[in-house]
């Protein structure tokens, strides 16, 4: 049986352009290549379906230069 995917909702500050949104997506997919990432730059929210833990995702995004806060997960 597959590992359970977790749906995370995060607030990510510092995304100012589509390049930032792509960087956030790449950062998450480095942790979990199968992750589904939906970035809403207007609200600063990122919806992620992943096997990675929320804390790990927050740490990776912080290292990438963004301020990330888990809203769920």
List, for residues 31-71, the tens digit of each pLDDT value: 999 999 999 999 999 999 999 999 999 999 999 999 999 98
The span from the CA of 71 to the CA of 50, in Å, is 15
Q: Is the pLDDT of residue 2 over 80?
A: no
Contact of 3 with 52, CB cutoff 8 Å: no
Query: H/E element holding 18?
Result: helix 18-31
Q: Is the pLDDT of residue 73 over 60?
A: no
List, for residues 9-29, the tens digit of each pLDDT value: 999 999 999 999 999 999 999
Query: H/E element holding 11?
Result: strand 6-13
Residue 57: which of 36, 34, 32 has the closest Cα? 32
Reported confidence tier of residue 1, pLDDT bands at 50, 70, 90:
very low
- Give the per-residue pLDDT at 17: 94
């Amino acid at each position: 049986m597959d590992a359970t995917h977790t749906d995370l909702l995060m607030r990510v500050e510092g995304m100012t352009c589509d390049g930032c949104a792509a960087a956030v997506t790449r950062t998450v997919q480095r942790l979990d290549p199968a992750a589904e990432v939906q970035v809403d730059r207007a609200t600063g929210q990122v919806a992620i379906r992943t096997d990675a833990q929320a804390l790990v995702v927050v740490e990776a995004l912080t290292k990438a230069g963004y301020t990330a806060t888990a809203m769920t997960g």
